[in-house]
């Protein structure tokens, strides 16, 4: 047969070769996600669930076995014939680093690939005003947490970082100068990548709180979830269809800058009467001082320099001044939550941050307001839960960001294998 340009070709075009490599990567990602989710499965199961051929599955599983991400055992109950081979996802094949960089603290967690905490360390630090010191401390805490976890750097898959700023998808290492002016010349992502030579992922802290809840916390079974962090200010993270909703320029979820009173106090963002100006820590402590004279029997009123933890403790003890302030917080937060329920209809709302420790003193007023101001459905039926992940929540979300990226793009695992070799 005469061979010419239109005849049968032994090799594919560049597009075909790239295309088949891409398809293989997609298949690899699909199998890896299934294996991660199932923890234990078999080649036959994978074939049934994906519709891929046995030979495709065998080839990819062989790669995964080679990389150490999957282990093979011959256990299991056989139905007469050969004992089935069980494939198990190796949760401890790598570790993840999650950094919670708050305005006034840094926390670092080291986890395995199933969010089991292997190391944790945290320290207060004036992050806002000292970027270089903050970077040094992050490095120190990562080293400490890795030592606790007995994990060498070569086993780290990636580093996730939560920051108290919106994160623009085009330049995630640049924090918003409006919130963190001293960080204007620092690229956080770049700096950490240079320090460690590892993939680094940066996202807003409330987004990561939401991600942690959706993967490991109160929203484990929810596809749509709202997380509200009530700390120094109020922020929210939204999970829509299982993914963080970042919105235009990464600014979604800025619930703290919802203006409830156009004649209210001026906010740092330039608007008036934002939620942050009404129930941010600073305002709550001003309120304690302003209202103190009307509460002669309040132990909180007697404090010379009240702090947030005093307010929370007093609320738990049903101190009348603290209860009045919590009623105010509950009305404002309840209004925000009711609007959120009407707009997004999440399956669950999870609250995190120090103020939630006030317990029923805060939840009663929140529930009352939600009942009074949200649509009848799904409003009051939507569970409003307190985070159970505690102070590690944001850091866990940061580690999960790196895990999510690796399950989406298994070449991250592969690149670590080479570096770690």
Binding footprint of Zn ion on the chain (CB under 5 A): 257, 267, 269, 271, 274
Q: Minimum CB separation from Zn ion for residue 274, in Å?
A: 3
CA distances for 297 relative to 287, 294, 325, 399, angstroms: 16, 9, 15, 47
Using the minimum distance from each CB to Zn ion, give the nearer residue, 103 or 274: 274
Q: How many Cβ atoms from other residues are within 10 Å of residue 22's Cβ?
A: 10
Using the minimum distance from each CB to Zn ion, give the nearer residue, 29 or 271: 271
Give the three-class secondary structure for 241: coil
Q: Minimum CB separation from Zn ion for residue 276, in Å?
A: 6
Residue 187 DSSP symbol: -
Q: Minimum CB separation from Zn ion for residue 271, in Å?
A: 5
What's CA 215's distance to the chain center, in Å?
9
Using the minimum distance from each CB to Zn ion, give the nearer residue, 271 or 386: 271
Contacts of 360 (CB under 8 A, 6+ apart): none
CA distances for 359 relative to 327, 353, 386, angstroms: 12, 12, 9
Using the minimum distance from each CB to Zn ion, give the nearer residue, 257 or 416: 257
Give the three-class secondary structure for 175: coil
Q: Minimum CB separation from Zn ion for residue 235, in Å?
A: 11
Q: Minimum CB separation from Zn ion for residue 177, in Å?
A: 16
* Residue of 236, 205, 231 whose CA lies nearest to 384: 236
Is 217 within 8 Å of 242 (Cβ atoms)?
no
Using the minimum distance from each CB to Zn ion, give the nearer residue, 136 or 249: 249
Using the minimum distance from each CB to Zn ion, give the nearer residue, 76 or 177: 177
Q: Minimum CB separation from Zn ion for residue 128, in Å?
A: 17
Q: Which two tokens stand for residue 383?
A: 């569970």
Is 122 within 8 Å of 106 (Cβ atoms)?
yes
Using the minimum distance from each CB to Zn ion, give the nearer residue, 271 or 313: 271
CA distances for 43 relative to 53, 257, 307, angstroms: 10, 51, 58
Using the minimum distance from each CB to Zn ion, give the nearer residue, 47 or 271: 271
Using the minimum distance from each CB to Zn ion, give the nearer residue, 101 or 274: 274
* Residue of 195, 193, 143 whose CA lies nearest to 172: 193
> How do strand 348-352 and strand 384-386 relate by DSSP bridges?
parallel
Q: Minimum CB separation from Zn ion for residue 327, in Å?
A: 23
Q: Measured between alpha carbons, how far is 278 from 248 in angstroms, rounded to an integer? A: 26
Q: Measured between alpha carbons, how far is 385 from 217 in angstroms, rounded to an integer? A: 10
Q: Minimum CB separation from Zn ion for residue 227, in Å?
A: 19
Q: Minimum CB separation from Zn ion for residue 336, in Å?
A: 13
Indicate the Cα dihedral angle 148, 153, 156, 157, nearest 10°. Answer: 170
């Amino acid at each position: 047969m005469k061979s010419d340009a239109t005849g049968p070709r032994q090799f594919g075009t560049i597009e075909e070769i790239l295309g088949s490599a891409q398809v293989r990567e997609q298949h690899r990602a699909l199998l890896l996600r299934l294996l991660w989710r199932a923890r234990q499965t078999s080649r036959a199961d994978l074939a049934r669930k994906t519709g891929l051929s046995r030979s495709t599955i065998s080839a990819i599983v062989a790669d995964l076995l080679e990389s150490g991400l999957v282990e093979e055992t011959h256990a299991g109950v056989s139905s007469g014939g050969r004992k089935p081979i069980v494939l198990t996802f190796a949760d401890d094949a790598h570790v993840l680093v999650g950094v919670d960089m708050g305005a006034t603290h840094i926390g670092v967690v080291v986890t395995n690939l199933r969010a089991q905490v292997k190391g944790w360390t945290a320290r207060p630090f004036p992050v806002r005003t000292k970027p270089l010191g903050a970077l040094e401390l992050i490095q120190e805490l990562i080293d400490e947490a890795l030592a606790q976890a007995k994990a060498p750097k070569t086993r780290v898959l990636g580093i996730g970082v939560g920051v108290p700023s919106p994160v623009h998808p085009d330049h995630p290492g640049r924090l918003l100068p409006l919130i963190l002016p001293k960080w204007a010349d620092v690229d956080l992502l770049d700096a950490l990548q240079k320090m460690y030579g590892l993939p680094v992922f940066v996202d807003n802290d409330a987004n990561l709180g939401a991600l942690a809840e959706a993967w490991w916390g109160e929203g484990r079974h929810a596809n749509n979830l709202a997380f509200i962090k009530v700390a120094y200010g109020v922020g929210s993270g939204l999970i829509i269809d299982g993914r963080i909703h970042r919105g235009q320029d990464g600014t979604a979820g800025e619930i703290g800058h919802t203006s409830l009173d156009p004649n209210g106090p001026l906010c740092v963002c330039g608007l008036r009467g934002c939620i942050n100006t009404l129930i941010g820590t600073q305002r709550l402590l001003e309120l304690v001082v302003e209202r103190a004279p009307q509460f002669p029997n309040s132990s909180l009123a007697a404090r010379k320099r009240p702090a947030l933890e005093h307010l929370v403790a007093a609320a738990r003890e049903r101190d009348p001044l603290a209860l009045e302030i919590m009623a105010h917080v509950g009305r404002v937060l309840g209004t925000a939550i009711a609007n959120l329920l009407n707009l997004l209809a999440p399956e669950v709302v999870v609250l995190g941050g120090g103020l939630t420790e006030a317990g029923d003193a805060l939840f009663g007023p929140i529930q009352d307001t939600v009942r009074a101001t949200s649509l009848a459905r799904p409003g009051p039926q939507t569970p409003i839960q307190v985070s159970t992940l505690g102070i590690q929540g944001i850091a866990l979300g940061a580690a999960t960001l790196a895990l999510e990226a690796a399950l989406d793009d298994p070449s991250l695992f592969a690149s670590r294998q080479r570096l770690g070799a």
